[in-house]
Amino acid sequence: MSRLPVVFVSHGAPDALLKAPEAVACWRGIGRDLPRPAAILAISAHWEARVPTASLSGAPETIHDFSGFSPVLHAMQYPAPGAPALAERAVALLSAAGTAAELHPGRGLDHGAWVPLSAMFPQADVPVTQLSLVRNAGPATHAALGQALAPLRDEGVLIVATGSITHNFGWLDWHAADGQAPLPQAQAFADWVAERAAARDVTALLDYRAAPHGAAAHPTEEHVLPFFVALGAADGDLPTHYQPPFAHGGLAMDAYVWQAAN
């Protein structure tokens, strides 16, 4: 089996499926172009734990971890089968790399996972388990997690990390018109990430807070940390960069797919 790619998507606001058609089209296109995986390991900004924790659920619940959105969104389900064997394998790889890791008996899929997966794999027929971030740990720790998990790519597993390239609520214009130019700071930081990723400049990316607008782009880090898991798992592969329009003027919707050279 050939080595599977690694995917990072900016999942946007919870209602992206209803209000971000260009991003949804991008996710659908990525899903169509990917080799069909045997299973998916999802890493989302919306689950943090003391140590990296993987779910043993055989039928993951669709977690509606938000409020105030359309009833249509609250009614959506993503009934993919679970992947408990993959959860155990991920924990074993992390443990072998010297990282304490745990299993959760039944954690479902939060919106950071099921929203983009609903577009990428709309039939919900690929087994999926979710792995948590590590609470109070930074980019280097999460890149190391990705490196430890990289062997999964040779085992038919697609690693899908979801968060956001920018995530500052102070940058958002909830009344932004379609086609409105994004906030310059948000655009500049998203462009910087794209340039450094294309250059495979892992050192600069790990120190993203020193980049122009880097610290402002992420007042808290949980939405950028999945990117570093993906970067670690990418194992030096070059990324393909997708750039759907910004949401709400300041929320970058960039996606990256790292594919091994043939």
Q: Whose CA is closest to 251, among 7, 12, 9?
A: 12
- Give the predicted TM-score (pTM) of the model: 0.97
Q: Which residue ranges in the chain fall short of pLDDT 50?
A: none
1 located within any domain: no
Instruction: Estimate the crossing angle of helix 139-149 against helix 225-234, to 10 degrees.
Output: 40
**Upper half-sphere CA count for residue 218 (Cβ side, 13 Å):** 26
Residue 194 belongs to domain spanning: 6-258
The model's pLDDT over 108-126, given as tens digits with 9 standing for 90+, comes to 999 999 999 999 999 999 9
Structural domain total, the chain? 1
Distance CA 206, CA 228 (A): 8
CATH of the domain at 32: 3.40.830.10
Q: Which helix (H) or strand (E) holds 104?
A: strand 102-104
48 located within any domain: yes
The model's pLDDT over 197-225, given as tens digits with 9 standing for 90+, comes to 999 999 999 999 999 999 999 999 999 99
185 located within any domain: yes
Tokens of 8: 């990072």
